[in-house]
Amino acid sequence: MCAVTLEDIRQARRRIDGSVHRTPVLTSRRLDELAGARLFFKCENLQATGSFKARGALNTVRSLDPAARPRGVVTHSSGNHAAAVSWAAALEGLPATVVMPRTANAFKMAAVRRYGGRIVTCEPTHAAREATAERLRQETGASLVHPFNDERVMAGQGTAALELLEEVPDLDAVVAPCGGGGLLAATATVARALRPGLLVLGVEPAGAADTIASLAAGVRQAVAQPASVADGLLALVGDLTFPVIQARVDRVVAVTDGEIRAAMRRLLDILKLVVEPAGSVGYAAVAEGRLSLGGQRVGILLSGGNVDLDAPPWQP
């Protein structure tokens, strides 16, 4: 199992302190009434670069061996991680190269360039992304910053859950999105160390429910053609993150694209927050009653808020 511990996560917080935001935890009586539960929203949509990914990216960049720093970093991502690594590298004065599929959203590519990243395009497959990133790593000597399958990345992501449980220590359950599994695994690590009886729940899109299939089979199971409006959650759960999820997460459920869109719209209408599809799945699961949390105190990680307002995804 992955060796990330609560102390690793606390060290990550000290490493990134002052550069990432301690994001607010918001509540809403109306959303509580609709859900039949007391909800506490950890607003990582208000984080630097617009997502929790800034935490893991910066922790990893600041953990690099000094001798490796001048050669910079390389990663592969079509979205939030790409922007976060570009931002973190720029903050440290290092070059960043980001492998993105040639079909990536122009809005997301613009964010990477805005933060100073150099984009190298590839074919729109996960295999092509990984192969291109590895080739660039070998050619340049840059350090790979994996989107989720890296203990330094996971330790950084766990700082969001650490903040949540410090601010609201008497939660009954915590809900996190699951794509590659870094945020969910790190959240479970924090929960089991601080509150062993806390329910830890994951949510993924119905069109990319590889974690649910993997848990049922006992080994990782890829979805042949993952598809969802929550494009940030299409990755196959990692070989480092999956054993942690197996051991420490109580349940993972799936939500449909229609439910995700409805959750996004309600968060905007009532909480006045722009939350992207991947960041809305936790609330969608609670709102639709998928997790049977009536009457409980529930922490929900809103993992990101990067939405192209010229093509809002709450409209099919």
pLDDT tens, N- to C-terminus, the chain (316 residues): 667 999 999 999 999 999 999 999 999 999 999 999 999 999 999 999 999 999 999 999 999 999 999 999 999 998 899 999 999 999 999 999 999 988 888 888 999 999 999 999 999 888 888 999 999 999 999 999 999 999 999 999 999 999 999 999 999 999 999 999 999 999 999 999 999 999 999 999 999 999 999 999 999 999 988 999 998 999 899 999 999 999 999 999 999 999 999 999 999 999 999 999 999 999 999 999 999 999 999 999 999 999 998 888 877 6
Structural domain includes residue 221: yes
Residues 161 and 238 in one domain: yes
Residues 79 and 215 in one domain: no
Q: pTM of the full predicted structure?
A: 0.95
Structural domain includes residue 47: yes
Structural domain includes residue 310: no
For the domain that residue 158 is a member of, what is the CATH number? Answer: 3.40.50.1100
Residues 260 and 280 in one domain: yes
Residues 105 and 163 in one domain: no
Structural domain includes residue 262: yes
pLDDT of residue 2: 63
Residues 87 and 216 in one domain: no
Residues 71 and 183 in one domain: no
Q: How many domains does the chain have?
A: 2
* Domain stop point among 120, 144, 168: 144
Structural domain includes residue 85: yes
Residues 118 and 167 in one domain: no
pLDDT of residue 310: 85
Structural domain includes residue 315: no
pLDDT of residue 192: 97
Residues 72 and 88 in one domain: yes
Task: Check if the beta carbon of residue 191 is closer than 8 Å to that of residue 219.
Answer: no
Residues 10 and 126 in one domain: no
Residues 297 and 157 in one domain: yes
From 272, 203, 201, 259, select the one nearest 232 (Cα to Cα).
Answer: 203
Q: What is the pLDDT of residues 225-252, one digit of tens each?
A: 899 999 899 989 999 999 999 999 999 9
Residues 119 and 67 in one domain: yes
Structural domain includes residue 172: yes
* Domain stop point among 144, 178, 204: 144
* Domain stop point among 144, 172, 201: 144
Residues 115 and 73 in one domain: yes
Domain that holds residue 185: 6-51+151-302
Structural domain includes residue 167: yes
